[in-house]
Structure 1
């Protein structure tokens, strides 16, 4: 199995309190009827929340994120559409 998928499953299982609170608002099309996925693989990254139809990614940054890595991740995700 792809390592990204295993990692995404682990992240969904071990989500933070903030991710859990936001997910409770996004799940089941609760936000404007939009379908969101959580901890979804996009290229080589795993994004916190993804809405394919709206072409929207939501990242809840924590201490593991830096400006340099955030910029690189943003460019890659934008290139994916």
Structure 2
């Protein structure tokens, strides 16, 4: 549960409609990564998702060694 209201989901989908094509397991892993590595959860997670919903679609972590998938890379976060 991300703590998002129906209105929040509307806003998220408006900013990042591609989320509908993201795999559920990948999004769950991203939410876990946000909590584990940056301590972002609860209300902070909700605020982040409304500001930058694209983090749900990140699946690359180049760690500075670029793999040319910048729009999906955690390095942007």
Instruction: Report if TM-score (shorter chain) is over 0.5.
Output: no
Structure having greater relative contact order (Cα 8 Å, sep ≥ 6): 2
Q: Which of the pair is proportionally richer in helix? A: 2
User: Which structure has the highest strand share of the two?
Assistant: 1
Scaled by the length of structure 2, what TM-score is found?
Answer: 0.32
